[in-house]
């Protein structure tokens, strides 16, 4: 069992998702099943193979360095759950 | 679906003033209202659609049309950001999100004068193949088995997009496809679903799931309509650095169903004893039909086919876990109060995401975490290279590849496998295409013994959409599939 209670809670911390106790059992079963499924790849030899991160063989273009007026603070803040002046408001971070 | 509207036929009706855009839009809005039970739309843009239709009628009067298709209403998957119109990705975490910008694809549609009827239901963040992971509930497939009242899944993730076209709640729609999310629901609903080559269509403004796999594409009633909509949405976009600079073709204008001398590959690894007999029969019949029409049928091998699905279930969750990190309750979307910043993040994401999305974020986080990154993520990327090179080799020998779209026809909504991996198997025939960045299309071929549509998939080399559409058109012309679902929702 790769995903026991302790490792699941750690994973939840890394992913910033709180996992309640009543969900732990099912989640552990599901994730172990997925892991077992993908583990079949271990049998394939890949020592001489380069990884593919993107199927498109295209050089990334550099755009012109010019100023535009898109993305105003007002636009960006429009959907903020909580804001003040030009800032997003979050719970206090520093005591 | 010869008797119902298509983009092509509506363009003619509008041109000859047989119908106005406003009348047409009202007709579809009425169909949507009458078809509410199907749960296809998350948002219906009633007012805006009618205003836009009136504007189109004015443009027509003053001979100032944006395109031949100006004034035709379509449906849009709720994954495309639309300015001023709620965009939820069918997730609780985005249920209040109203973008103040427009995705390139929907902007292209607007530039052609197409009108949006609203936003179509889908699996949450496009993660699923049943449409059951949507926060707004399942879409119902317009199709039912003969003599049965049991509700069936429309497929997913673009389930609403496919069901709406099949049920005439729009004439055509936009979907997205990360591992089969256009082709699989098209197959389940008797519609045409096209996933373009990676890079053919801009991803800018589409809610990101797995950025190296996501592509937008059309779901339509005919191959011609797929070509028309691809013409409208495709092309280079400077806002998407992965959008291709390859010039696009005039897909509709150059549509040519002559396939004489073409070589069509049948990959032996796609054969399976588990395939339903009716699907196998359709696949064989279609190969014979292409042969009769002048193509040569060649058995080919794609040796890493069986590795595609596990590879996908490392790469897609890895990219998703990174992409979905942005939903933190700070800048937009849901916020759940917490004792401190971290607690707020954790509660927001725990309440805002559904179970399948959480599973994928957690698996993605795991395969990217220290100590597992090489063993899983890099390993999967290496196998992705092997899968891609299978296709590179195959396309040295053949022009196109023919396979079934799905390992089954539509199944019961209530029939939920308890193991998530069982659900993943729905995409076994479609996933390799995304990993290799190729274009693929699902077209309806026949109905099975329960009167449910069977879809077949064609695949060509990257940026050979024209050839893909041409072969699809040849099949469509020959079989003339004209089944439509009985409209049981109109009681």
Residue B384 lies in a domain: no
Please tell me which residue of chain B has the smallest CA distance to A95.
Answer: B340
Question: A–B: how many Cβ contacts below 8 A?
Answer: 169
Tokens of B311: 């590879």
- For B43, B266, B274, the CA distances from B142, given in Å and listed in that order, are 19, 31, 26
Among A15, A37, A54, the residue with its CB nearest the CB of B361 is A15
Cis peptide before B157 (omega within 30 of 0): yes
Q: What distance in Å separates the CA atoms of residue B70 and residue B57, rounded to the nearest whole number?
A: 9
DSSP lists the bridge partners of residue B459 as B401, B440
Q: What confidence category does residue A61 fall into, taking pLDDT thresholds of 50, 70 and 90?
A: confident
Extract the residue ranges of chain B whose pLDDT is less than 50: 1-3
DSSP for A19-60 reads --HHHHHHHHHHHHHHHHHHGGGGGS--TT----S-S---PP
Contact yes or no for B205/B110 (Cβ under 8 A): no
Residue A72 lies in a domain: no
Compute the nearest-CA separation of B475 from chain A (Å). 28
Q: What distance in Å separates the CA atoms of residue B457 and residue B406, rounded to the nearest whole number?
A: 8
CB contact under 8 A, A41 and B311: yes
Residue A62 lies in a domain: no
Q: What distance in Å separates the CA atoms of residue B118 and residue B163, rounded to the nearest whole number?
A: 14
CB contact under 8 A, B350 and A20: yes
Q: Using alpha carbons only, what angle is made at residue B137 by residues B82 and B446, rounded to the nearest 5 degrees?
A: 90
Domain with B240, as residue range(s), is: 7-259+465-479
- Partners of A16 on chain B (C-beta within 8 Å) are 325, 328, 342, 345-346, 349
Residue B361 lies in a domain: no
Contact yes or no for B201/B177 (Cβ under 8 A): no
Domain with A35, as residue range(s), is: 5-42
Residue B112 lies in a domain: yes
* Higher pLDDT, residue B48 or A63: B48
Tokens of B84: 């001023």
Please tell me which residue of chain B has the smallest CA distance to A92.
Answer: B340
Q: What distance in Å separates the CA atoms of residue A73 and residue B331, rounded to the nearest whole number?
A: 12
Q: What distance in Å separates the CA atoms of residue B371 and residue B389, rounded to the nearest whole number?
A: 28
pLDDT, one tens digit per residue, over B359-403 is 999 999 999 999 999 999 999 999 999 999 999 999 999 999 999
Residue whose C-alpha is closest to residue B406's, from B141, B79, B223, B36: B141
pLDDT at B4: 78
Contact yes or no for B79/B123 (Cβ under 8 A): no
Residue B195 lies in a domain: yes
CATH number for the domain including B83?
3.90.1300.10
Residue B99 CA neighbour count, 13 Å, CB half: 18
Residue B90 lies in a domain: yes
Compute the nearest-CA separation of B312 from chain A (Å). 9
Q: Using alpha carbons only, what angle is made at residue B335 by residues B334 and B336, rounded to the nearest 5 degrees?
A: 120
B358 counts as catalytic: no
B462 counts as catalytic: no
Q: What distance in Å separates the CA atoms of residue B360 and residue B355, rounded to the nearest whole number?
A: 9
pLDDT at B2: 36
Contact yes or no for B207/B157 (Cβ under 8 A): no
Residues 6+ apart with CB under 8 A from A51: B378, B381, B382, B384, B385
Q: Is B82 helix (H, G, I), strand (E, B) or coil?
A: strand
Q: What distance in Å separates the CA atoms of residue B457 and residue B204, rounded to the nearest whole number?
A: 27
- Partners of A93 on chain B (C-beta within 8 Å) are 340-341
CB contact under 8 A, B241 and A50: no
B278 counts as catalytic: no
pLDDT at A56: 84
Residue A49 lies in a domain: no
Among B241, B330, B382, the residue with its CB nearest the CB of A60 is B241
Residue B343 lies in a domain: no
Q: What distance in Å separates the CA atoms of residue B151 and residue B342, rounded to the nearest whole number?
A: 42
Contact yes or no for B91/B135 (Cβ under 8 A): yes
DSSP lists the bridge partners of residue B120 as B41, B77
pLDDT, one tens digit per residue, over B97-126 is 999 999 999 999 999 999 999 999 999 999
Domain count of chain B?
1
Number of neighbouring beta carbons within 10 Å of residue A92:
8
pLDDT at A68: 82
- Partners of B438 on chain A (C-beta within 8 Å) are 55
* Higher pLDDT, residue A71 or B113: B113
Among A30, A75, A91, the residue with its CB nearest the CB of B100 is A75
DSSP element (H, E) containing B166 = helix B159-166
- Interface probe for A, chosen from B331, B335, B337, B439 (most Cβ of A below 10 Å), is B331
Kindly state whether A9 is in contact with chain B, defined as any CB-CB distance less than 8 angstroms: no
- For B125, B173, B200, B240, B241, the CA distances from A61, given in Å and listed in that order, are 29, 31, 16, 10, 7
Residue B300 lies in a domain: no
Q: What distance in Å separates the CA atoms of residue B342 and residue B67, rounded to the nearest whole number?
A: 51
Residue A29 lies in a domain: yes
**DSSP-derived pairing of the beta strands B115-120 and B41-44:** antiparallel
Residue B194 lies in a domain: yes
Residue A85 lies in a domain: no
Domain count of chain A?
1
Residues 6+ apart with CB under 8 A from B82: B76, B99, B102, B103, B106, B116, B119
CB contact under 8 A, B310 and A90: no
CB contact under 8 A, B341 and A93: yes
Q: What distance in Å separates the CA atoms of residue B1 and residue B487, rounded to the nearest whole number?
A: 14
């Amino acid at each position: 069992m790769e995903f026991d209670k302790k490792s699941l809670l750690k994973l939840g911390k890394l992913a910033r998702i709180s996992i309640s106790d009543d969900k732990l059992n099912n989640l552990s079963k599901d994730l172990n099943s997925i892991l077992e499924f993908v583990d079949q790849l271990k049998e394939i030899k890949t020592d001489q193979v380069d990884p593919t991160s993107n199927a498109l063989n295209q050089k990334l273009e550099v755009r012109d360095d010019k100023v535009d007026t898109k993305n105003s603070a007002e636009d960006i803040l429009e959907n903020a759950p909580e804001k003040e002046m030009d800032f997003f408001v979050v719970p206090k971070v520093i005591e | 679906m010869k008797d119902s509207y298509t983009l092509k036929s509506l363009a003619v009706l509008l041109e000859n003033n047989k119908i106005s855009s406003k009348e047409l839009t009202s007709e579809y809005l009425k169909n949507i209202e009458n078809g509410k039970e199907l749960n296809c739309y998350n948002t219906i843009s009633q007012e805006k659609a009618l205003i836009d239709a009136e504007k189109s009628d004015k443009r027509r009067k003053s001979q100032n049309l944006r395109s031949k298709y100006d004034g035709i209403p379509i449906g849009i998957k709720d994954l495309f950001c639309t300015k001023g119109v709620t965009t939820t990705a069918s997730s609780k975490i985005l249920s209040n999100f109203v973008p103040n910008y427009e995705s390139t694809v929907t902007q292209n549609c607007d530039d052609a004068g197409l009108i949006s009827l609203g936003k179509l239901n889908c699996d949450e963040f496009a993660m699923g193949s049943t449409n059951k992971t949507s926060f707004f509930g399942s879409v119902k497939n317009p199709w039912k088995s003969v003599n049965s009242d049991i509700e069936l899944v429309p497929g997913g993730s673009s389930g609403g997009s496919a069901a709406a076209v099949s049920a005439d709640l729009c004439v055509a729609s936009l979907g997205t496809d990360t591992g089969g999310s256009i082709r699989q629901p098209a197959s389940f609903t008797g519609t045409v679903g096209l996933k373009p080559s990676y890079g053919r269509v801009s991803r800018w403004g589409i809610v990101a799931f797995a950025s190296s796999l996501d592509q937008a594409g059309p779901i339509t009633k005919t191959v011609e309509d797929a070509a028309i909509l691809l013409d409208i949405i495709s092309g280079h976009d400077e806002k998407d650095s992965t959008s291709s600079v390859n010039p696009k073709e005039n897909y509709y204008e150059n549509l040519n169903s002559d396939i004489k001398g073409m070589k069509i590959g049948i990959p032996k690894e796609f054969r399976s004893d588990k395939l339903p007999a009716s699907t196998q029969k359709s696949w064989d019949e279609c190969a014979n039909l292409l042969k009769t029409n002048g193509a040569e049928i060649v058995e080919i091998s794609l040796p890493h086919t069986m590795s595609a699905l596990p590879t996908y279930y490392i790469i897609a969750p890895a990219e998703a876990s990174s992409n979905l990190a942005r939903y933190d309750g700070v800048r937009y979307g849901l916020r759940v109060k917490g004792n401190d910043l971290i607690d707020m993040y954790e509660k927001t994401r725990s309440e805002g995401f559904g179970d399948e999305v959480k599973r994928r974020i957690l698996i993605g986080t795991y395969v990217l975490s220290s100590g597992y990154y090489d063993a899983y993520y890099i390993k999967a990327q290496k196998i992705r290279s092997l899968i891609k090179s299978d296709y590179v080799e195959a396309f040295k020998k053949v022009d196109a590849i023919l396979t079934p779209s799905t390992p089954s026809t539509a199944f019961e909504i209530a029939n939920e496998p308890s193991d998530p991996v069982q659900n993943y198997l729905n995409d076994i025939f479609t996933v390799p295409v995304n990993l290799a960045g190729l274009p693929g299309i699902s077209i309806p071929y026949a109905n099975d013994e329960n009167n449910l549509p069977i879809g077949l998939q064609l695949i060509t080399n990257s940026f050979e959409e024209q050839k893909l559409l041409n072969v699809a058109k040849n099949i469509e012309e020959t079989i003339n599939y004209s089944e439509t679902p009985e409209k049981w929702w109109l009681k």
